[in-house]
Structure 1
Amino acid sequence: MVSIRKATYQDKEALCALYKVVARISQGIARTEDEITDQYIDGLFRTIEQQGLMLVAVDPANQVIAEIHASKYGLRIFDHILTGLTIAVHPDYQGKGVGKQLFRAFLDDVQQLFPEVGRVELESRASNQKSLGLYHSLGFVQEGCMKNKTRNMDGSFEHSLLMAWTKPGFGTSQESVD
């Protein structure tokens, strides 16, 4: 059984290891393995402490097997948004519902802990159909496409899809812009 909790600085080493493993996967996170450093993880914690949320999933042995985070832009006009959402699930646990469980807990916490937040944003590679299916099942919708934004490990380029989840009832009094 997997449990989910807020990440703590004591998770730093485990998060660094998790990110390095996931970075080796062609459809993994946007960073390459050599870009996952102690300074990068420290920066995540600094950002999250000030204006975001980071959760981890741990296995019965209390090993970190997945992580999710997003933070605010730091600009008042965007204070209703968590952006840069990143999720990393250890390859041994992918396809087993861990990511979905972690995502649901994250969105529940956003609703409880961030009443001012009405949007959560992420980017995904257009070819990552498995992840796109997960995002759609959780209520994310595609809002745009940035052509040839992502350079893959093999040097090829692909589109990056902009997706967002909107808190139920958020912004209903305002006109929507299509």
Structure 2
Amino acid sequence: MNVRFDLDPSVTPALRDGICTLWSDVSNADGAVGFVPPVTQDDIRPELLRHLTSMAEGRTRLLVGRDPDGRVLAAAFLTLNDHRLMRHWLWVYTVMVHPSVQGQGVGRELMAAVADAARSLDGISGIRLTCRGGTGLSRFYASCGYKEVGRVPDAIKVADGDFRDDVTMWREVA
């Protein structure tokens, strides 16, 4: 699949709408990106606005993958630490690959682009992310060079009686 990744693209209305569509499509395909299906783009927009505000304030960077027609197929938000003892690593949030291209290597390309982006930032030597247990995501991230460094049992409630572990993963970058 031919996907072009850009760090810090201009946030145009088309890009904003593309990310919102991606986020709702991933969520409705049971993706673990902060929502439980069913969701609408109206459900997603307030959270997207929080991410965009953080970007405007310089605390978050956006990595987006698009096909040759400009359709948003993948995205991840890289959040910088403002704590003076933790500025050497960043968080990766809301990692998304459109369901129509999952299993085609786009997720691996996205995570490689995340590592490249982290390397390009002054002083960043590590990446931290969390994922929802019971989804297979920790195996995927491990195959991308991350290692599990922590787990909080039953920290995520996805439905009545359905609790999942919150898994913390780490990758060093050099």
TM-score (norm 1): 0.84
**1:87 to 2:91 alignment:** no
Aligned residue number for residue 55 of structure 2: 48
Task: Report SS of the residue matched to 2:85.
Answer: helix
Aligned residue number for residue 32 of structure 2: 28
Aligned residue number for residue 11 of structure 2: 9
Task: Report SS of the residue matched to 2:141.
Answer: helix
**1:111 to 2:119 alignment:** yes
**Change beyond 3 A, Cα 1:25–1:152:** farther
Deviation at residue 42 of structure 1 after TM alignment? 2.6
- Map Cα deviations across residues 149-174 of structure 1 (whole Å, 9 max, x no partner): 11124641011111111124xxxxxx
- Map Cα deviations across residues 2-26 of structure 1 (whole Å, 9 max, x no partner): 1111333111111111111111132
- Counterpart pick for 1:156 among 147, 162, 166: 162
Task: Tell me if structure 2 keeps the 8 A contact 1:126–1:159.
Answer: yes
Distance 1:48 1:165 in 2: 23
Structure 2 stretches of 5 or more lacking a match?
Answer: none
**1:100 to 2:102 alignment:** no
Identity among equivalent positions (%) equals: 22
Task: Tell me if structure 2 keeps the 8 A contact 1:149–1:159.
Answer: yes
Distance 2:133 2:25 in 1: 22
Q: Which amino acid aligns with 1:102?
A: L
Structural mapping, 1:99-178, within 5 Å: 99-112=107-120, 114-129=121-136, 131-153=137-159, 155-168=161-174
Number of aligned residues: 165
Deviation at residue 52 of structure 1 after TM alignment? 3.0
Structure 1 stretches of 5 or more lacking a match?
Answer: 169-178
TM-score (norm 2): 0.85
Runs of 4+ in 1 over 4 A off after TM superposition: none
